[in-house]
Amino acid sequence: MTQSELKEFLDAKVIQYNNPKFIESDPIQIPHQFTLKQDIEISAFLTATIAWGNRKMIIKNAQRIMDLVGNSPYDFVINHKEEHLDRFGGFVHRTFNEIDIKFFIQSLKYIYLNNSDLEAIFYQFAQTDSMQYSIHQFKSVFFQLEHPKRVEKHISDPLKGSASKRINMFLRWMVRNDNAGVDFGIWKTISSSQLSCPLDVHSGKVARKLGLLNRTQNDAKALLELDTNLRKLDATDPVKYDFALFGLGIFEKF
């Protein structure tokens, strides 16, 4: 395909998958339960954090977290006391367990008590054409409190070579206003043009078949290559093609 043919093909796939029906089988359904900005942020962040593995299990365990916080994530984060964290005893999603979720709740409380919201932190360190340095800085902020070393693995660092799929997905949810009711677009200080595609096994495989990606590893260098090529197709909203790549990989086995 020529670049114009590729763009036409992918734009059609974006329209096909970037619509409310997408929510029914996707973890983004969890934050769609809420209307308060901080509730959406927290539920989305925690859901994205455990978004690897079987999608049904991701949704099930993300909903369990919401149930454990009384389906009021911001209120629980801000007002919880240490003994309230006991309710997470026995929680586990793959390698993310009760130790991790307890610290995440504590760290979120610290962040919200010292910042207006999560958006403020990401905006502070955002670059004009990338959020990767901002993700790196967010990780430093998130782990300011004393914590078990094991919890650090649950927020990846693009400056250490990671594609940071889950947190890039979280940023897509928060920043991108798709006018279709899927992504939220509640962060107004950051532009869609700064976002990166959540790169995983499925989107990477499709991107390689379409000639958008040559690097074989799904790492930070591959993400930069994919970003560069997607921006050639749409510089203002390159991350919209996540819907096309994901849909082609998951639903069409492209």
As a whole number, mean pLDDT of residues 4-25 equals: 96
Q: The whole model's pTM is what?
A: 0.96
Band (253; pLDDT cuts 50, 70, 90): confident
User: CA–CA distance from 115 to each of 38, 73, 110, 139, 151 (Å)?
Assistant: 12, 17, 9, 15, 22
Domain range annotation of the chain: 3-250
Amino acid at 46: L
- Which pLDDT tens digit goes with each residue over 188-220? 999 999 999 999 999 999 999 999 999 999 999
Structure tokens at 162: 């990671």
Band (139; pLDDT cuts 50, 70, 90): very high
pLDDT at 64: 98
Cβ density class 144-178: b for 16+ within 10 Å, e for less: eeebeeebeebbbbbeeebbbbbbbbbbbbbbbeb
Distance CA 173, CA 185 (A): 7
- Residue 124 has a CB neighbour count (10 Å cut-off) of 13
- Which pLDDT tens digit goes with each residue over 140-190? 999 999 999 999 999 999 999 999 999 999 999 999 999 899 999 999 999
Identify the H or E element spanning 93: strand 92-93
